[in-house]
Structure 1
């Protein structure tokens, strides 16, 4: 669906150099700290900024070869974009009908009703959750094959986030579709994504199937003495703490069985990201 190969973008004091693939039928998560390069990847993939090297393909075509019809197959949500506050949903319906050949007016209005979005109220008077919900519904309204979602749940409470995640899951039930999504709330991605890319300072530092990450990765806590006696062959990163070491492994069961007395915590996306960034490579 979408493929980035050694895509490079240079700014003063920052450079992006990464490869990433969004497969058919997958929800792929992109996780990293602020400024790690997530939004730069999205903007590069959409052709919103020029790149300094590498290649980008969507639907097995180079970006420059995409037709207007191809671009209609892409739905986008940017965390820092939105609609004119003086529009209403009724106004927006007319605009979308003229923008997209495959705009599903009935489905769009039904989703807005289900989301309790008022049709004749100006968008500037919507709550944060209502605006986020509207952006996602619009992105899904023209039957796009790819959704690119940049922090779609940013600033939302738990209930609003759950509603948006339900929309995303239901969207994937209809045919061969794919979603690339970033979020500061890694817990959302653990329950949603099929695979996850971790990015730091413009580089992909880990790509893993979500099930594998949650099942096989773990955090081992040792004293200094225990660490000296530890078999290090499956330790990816270590981090020195006051009491000893915190170690990241992708073979959790190996250490659980070989060292049953040591503390082993289940790996989460947040913990793995933290250790991959702050930890020392052996």
Structure 2
């Protein structure tokens, strides 16, 4: 287990986070949820950047305060609210990273930056938001880290740049012993990329599912009042009242296709699952 978070709790004013999360070797795991749900708090907890009220975090099987320098160099990190000094250029960043990380591949980093169309001699403060995002991710990937923690890495990128970045993450995973924990507001990115997804709402994990299962087995039912009253609700996760009756989220869409084909049904997407799990009434 590259990362394990067990019943971690942290309270800020009227916000309390209480969740558990595991990151399997070879997995890309997505953390999804609305703004303010606690995603960044989870990332900072995983990195030992905040003290916890309760619970335990282990990285590479060790508590964070017992990690060696080599262990820490095996982690690549991109946080949404942090970055490089605005007065550095990409060439400066390469030299800094080379001094910080024994396995930092300066030539690879420069090559990837060139391929991404990044200006090597422009200062960070003069770059666009998308350029800054790409520099951070490419730097995190250029020292052979086994664990990547990426908080909103595609923020500010256009469609083509996002796809290029996702391809870079897939390439990073090719050795087979690495893992990624990633968050994004763009659910289609995570649908394409992630092996499993955690949904967090108001500091609590409300759903954990393999991405293939979520996209293949989850779905929405649109039932009239009469259809709803007669429905077997064994596999209904939550409901939302609508003018025509109820919108229902199920994790066994095939069951209802076989047994209630007269009800209108749609395959679920990550966005629809998020909306229903957060705004719907759980059964």
Identify whether the pair has TM-score above 0.5, normalized to the shorter chain.
yes
Match of 2:177 in 1: 176
- TM-score scaled by structure 1? 0.98
Matched position secondary structure for 1:110: helix
On the 8 A contact 2:18/2:204 being kept in 1, the answer is yes
1:180-259, aligned counterparts within 5 Å?
A: 180-259=181-260
* 1:130 pairs with 2:123: no
Q: Which runs of 5+ in 2 are unaligned?
A: none
Q: Deviations over 1:95-144 (max 9, x none)?
A: 11111111111111111111111211112221222111111000001110
Q: 2: CA distance between counterparts of 1:17 and 1:68? A: 29
Q: Name the residue aligned to 2:118.
A: 117
Residue in 2 that maps onto 1:86:
87
Q: Does the CA-based 8 Å contact 2:73-2:101 persist in structure 1? A: yes
Asked if the contact 2:91–2:110 (Cα under 8 Å) also holds between the matched residues in 1, the reply is no
Q: Say how many residue pairs are matched.
A: 282
1:49 aligned residue: 50
Unaligned segments of structure 1, at least 5 residues: none
**2-structure distance, mates of 1:71, 1:215:** 37
Q: Whole-Å Cα distance in 1 between the matches of residues 156 and 249 of structure 2? A: 30
Shift of 1:252: 0.3
**Alignment partners' CA distance in 2, 1:38 and 1:116:** 30
Which 4+ runs in 1 deviate beyond 3 A? none
Q: 1:59: Cα distance to partner?
A: 0.4
